């Protein structure tokens, strides 16, 4: 029996999980960190806090499991993607807060690139829709706004990385400046067809190549942790963006298999195999996890506010004391009473792509209570995900017959039942819903010989509950229409 350690650096919290090679959870530790909102539409994290909270949870998880570094076969890192860190190579100090994927400050730069007619060329090279979401414009912003950064970057004094790079750098005491294909694909600087940093993109985005990390497959022997951190050297053998990692952890290895992760945002990914699909319906193409020289791809729909709307019910509206309470509150009324909640607090992502959209609660009446709003908030998560699946079904070569789900908000059965009702296909919740972390553990285990192949991993996937659609299809369609009407009010065409 072997143990694998997964470091899962998410948007809302840092988490570490110790897995047995069977995929069973042995112990876990989690720590929230500060969200900084310096201006409307801006979202930042303190990169040092990301690292210190991640390290604290790694140590705590090992202690809870009663094991030490020598017992760990390998560790994998998975992370919130696109979030951009720039640090000094000499000192390891970040020169600015991490600019988080949700941050919209680079909208004007995106508009300029669009006006220059570059959106389509960027989409062809990267699979991405030109939007502030991705790292490139955030990196450009840091280089332009931090005193002296541009000159220092050109001299090779600065390193750029997504959060996986930043953690790998710190874990190895500054020996490794690396990332994997699934993270590189989110920067908008990586050519997903050729598998390389793209010189034209670097020129358009004004990024000096000196800042870039080395890129490897997601399952790869990257190096070892500095013994000072975990009490011994542990091989780092997996890096992956959290959503591609979840696709891997859900064992969606065959083309046509899809998963939706309900975390801070919602991310639906469909495996398209070795074919890079070209979406006609507002989805993006992205690199899936890679374990050898063969490139794999996924179609993705990204919803910027998913479970975060429940945090807003807790922290903003103060309708609940804990996120777990939302199910009981929403379940205390039979329906949303005509309320539709569009939770686009940080713009609308796929398939609409409206960076400037704001959230809205529509259909209020004298009878509306917090319970109706809570229910409409959960429905808003499901409506956004259903719009993604509809787009995916139109784009996909093969029909999607079921949806595997995971992430913090998938604990909510009311949400998943409504999701199945809207979609008209079964929604499958696995026994291990920490599939993001599991994917990273699997990638690390594959690179170090703990596992032989993907088939062995697929055999370990177990369902906990299947949510079958029960709603009449005409009613489901009418509900989707009410959602689309609300969207057109938030964002008049
Ligand atoms: N019972 C619940 N119902 C709905 N949402 C929930 C529930 N429990 C947690 N959440 C939401 O799930 C999110 C956390 O999920 P998680 O997968 O840990 O996110 P991340 O990886 O983005 O940090 C939070 O936004 C939280 O509000
Ligand atoms: O931290 P999560 O789970 O909300 O995931 C964030 C995504 O990676 C952003 O693209």
Cα distances (angstroms) measured from residue 364 to each of 305, 348, 356, 373:
21, 22, 23, 9
* CATH number of the domain bearing residue 130: 3.30.420.40
Q: Is residue 222 part of a domain?
A: yes
Q: What is the pLDDT of residue 346?
A: 80
Give yes or no for a contact between 94 and 44, defined as CB atoms under 8 angstroms apart.
no
185 has pLDDT over 70 = yes
What is the residue-wise DSSP string for 102-155?
T--TTHHHHHHHHHTT-HHHHHHHHS----TTSHHHHHHHHHHHSTTHHHHHHT
Pocket test for ligand 2, best of 9, 10, 306 (most atoms within 8 A of CB): 10
105/145 Cα distance (integer angstroms): 12
Least confident interval from 25-29, 342-346, 465-469 = 342-346
204/194 Cα distance (integer angstroms): 18
Quickly count: other Cβ atoms within 10 Å of residue 430's Cβ.
22
Rounded to 10 degrees, the C-alpha dihedral 408/412/413/416 comes to: -60
Q: Is the dihedral of CA 46, 52, 55, 60 positive or negative?
A: negative
Residues facing 7 on adjacent strands: 16, 77
| Pair of tokens at residue 441 | 């553990």
Residues facing 240 on adjacent strands: 78
Compute the average pLDDT of residues 233-246.
97
114/112 Cα distance (integer angstroms): 5
**Banded model confidence at residue 485, pLDDT cuts 50, 70, 90:** very high
Asked if the peptide bond before residue 351 counts as cis, ω within 30 degrees of 0, the response is yes
Ligand 2 mean position, distance from CA 489 (Å): 27
28/59 Cα distance (integer angstroms): 10
Q: Is the dihedral of CA 79, 354, 108, 41 positive or negative?
A: negative
| Pair of tokens at residue 375 | 């229910």
**Ligand 2 atom showing the smallest separation from residue 243 Cα:** 8
Ligand 1 mean position, distance from CA 12 (Å): 8
Q: Is the dihedral of CA 141, 10, 287, 279 positive or negative?
A: negative
**Banded model confidence at residue 1, pLDDT cuts 50, 70, 90:** confident
Residues 6+ apart with CB under 8 A from 91: none
Give yes or no for a contact between 163 and 83, defined as CB atoms under 8 angstroms apart.
yes
253-287: pLDDT as tens digits: 999 999 999 998 999 999 999 988 888 888 999 99
Compute the average pLDDT of residues 232-245.
97
Q: Is the dihedral of CA 5, 93, 191, 176 positive or negative?
A: negative
282-315: pLDDT as tens digits: 899 999 999 988 999 999 998 989 999 999 999 9
Would you give the DSSP letter of residue 15?
Answer: E
Which H helix or E strand runs over 320? none
Nearest to 241 by CA among 104, 94, 135: 135
Q: What is the pLDDT of residue 492?
A: 61
82-137: pLDDT as tens digits: 999 999 999 999 999 999 999 999 999 999 999 999 999 999 999 999 999 999 99
- pLDDT, the chain, mean: 95
Q: Is residue 34 part of a domain?
A: yes
Binding residues: 11-13, 15, 81-82, 133, 242-243, 264, 307, 311, 408, 412
163/85 Cα distance (integer angstroms): 7
139-161: pLDDT as tens digits: 999 999 999 999 999 999 999 99
- pLDDT more than 90, % of the chain: 90
Q: Which domain holds residue 150?
A: 3-243
| Pair of tokens at residue 168 | 């790998």
Number of domains composing the chain: 1
Q: What is the pLDDT of residue 13?
A: 93
**Banded model confidence at residue 236, pLDDT cuts 50, 70, 90:** very high
Q: Is residue 230 part of a domain?
A: yes
| Pair of tokens at residue 462 | 């177990």
What sections of 174-281 are H helices per DSSP? 181-184, 199-205, 227-230, 242-249
Ligand 2 mean position, distance from CA 87 (Å): 22
149/221 Cα distance (integer angstroms): 32
Beta strand segments in 70-120, E? 72-79, 85-88, 98-99
31/12 Cα distance (integer angstroms): 9
317: region left, alpha or beta (phi > 0 left; psi from -120 to 50 alpha): alpha
Pocket test for ligand 2, best of 265, 302, 343 (most atoms within 8 A of CB): 265
Which H helix or E strand runs over 124? helix 119-126
278/210 Cα distance (integer angstroms): 31
Q: Is residue 21 part of a domain?
A: yes
**CA triple 58-179-271, angle to 5 deg:** 95
Q: Is residue 341 part of a domain?
A: no
Ligand 1 mean position, distance from CA 21 (Å): 26
ipTM for this model? 0.97
Alpha carbon 425 to its chain centroid, in Å, reads 23
Residue appearing with tokens 């079921």: 402
Q: What is the pLDDT of residue 399?
A: 81
Binding residues for ATP: 11-13, 264, 307, 311, 408
């Amino acid at each position: 029996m072997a143990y694998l350690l997964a470091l899962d650096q998410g948007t809302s919290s840092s988490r570490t999980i110790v897995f047995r090679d069977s995929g069973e959870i042995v112990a876990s530790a989690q720590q929230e960190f500060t969200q900084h909102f310096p201006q409307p539409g801006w979202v930042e994290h303190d990169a040092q806090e990301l690292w210190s909270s991640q390290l604290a949870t790694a140590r705590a998880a090992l202690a809870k499991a009663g094991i030490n570094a020598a017992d760990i076969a390998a560790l994998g890192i998975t992370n919130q993607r696109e979030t951009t860190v720039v640090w000094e190579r000499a000192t390891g100090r970040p020169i600015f807060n991490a600019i988080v994927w949700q941050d919209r400050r680079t909208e004007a730069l995106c508009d300029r690139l669009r006006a220059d007619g570059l959106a389509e060329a960027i989409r062809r090279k990267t699979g991405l829709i030109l939007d502030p979401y991705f790292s490139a414009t955030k990196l450009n912003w840091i280089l332009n706004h931090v005193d002296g950064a541009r000159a220092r970057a050109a001299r090779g004094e600065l390193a750029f990385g997504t959060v996986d790079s930043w953690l790998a750098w710190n874990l190895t005491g500054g020996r490794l400046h690396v990332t994997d294909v699934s993270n590189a694909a989110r920067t908008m600087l990586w050519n997903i067809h050729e598998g390389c940093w793209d010189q034209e993109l670097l020129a358009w985005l004004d990024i000096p190549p000196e800042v870039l990390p080395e890129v490897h497959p997601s399952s790869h022997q990257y190096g070892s942790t500095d013994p000072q951190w975990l009490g011994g050297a542990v091989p780092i053998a997996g890096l992956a963006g959290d959503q591609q990692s979840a696709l891997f952890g859900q064992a969606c290895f065959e083309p046509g298999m899809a998963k939706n992760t309900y975390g801070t945002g919602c991310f639906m990914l469909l495996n398209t195999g070795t074919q890079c699909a070209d979406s006609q319906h507002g989805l993006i193409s992205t690199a899936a996890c890679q374990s050898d020289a063969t490139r794999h791809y996924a179609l993705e729909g990204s919803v910027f506010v998913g479970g975060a709307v429940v945090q807003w019910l807790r922290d903003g509206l103060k309708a609940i004391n804990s996120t777990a309470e939302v199910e009981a509150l929403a379940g205390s009324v039979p329906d949303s009473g005509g309320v539709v909640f569009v939770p686009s607090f940080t713009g609308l992502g796929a398939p609409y792509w409206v960076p400037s959209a704001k959230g809205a609660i529509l259909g209020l009446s004298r009878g509306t209570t917090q319970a109706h709003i809570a229910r409409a908030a959960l429905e808003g998560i499901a409506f956004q995900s259903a719009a993604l699946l509809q787009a995916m079904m139109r784009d996909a070569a093969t029909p999607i017959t079921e949806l595997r789900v995971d992430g913090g908000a998938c604990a909510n059965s009311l949400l998943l039942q409504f999701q199945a009702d809207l979609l008209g296909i079964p929604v499958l919740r696995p026994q291990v819903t920490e599939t993001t972390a599991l994917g990273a553990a699997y990638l690390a285990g594959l690179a170090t010989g703990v596992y032989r192949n993907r088939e062995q991993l697929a055999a370990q996937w177990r369902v906990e509950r299947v949510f079958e659609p029960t709603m009449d299809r005409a009613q489901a369609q009418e509900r989707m229409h009410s959602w689309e009407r609300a969207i057109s009010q938030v964002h008049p065409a």
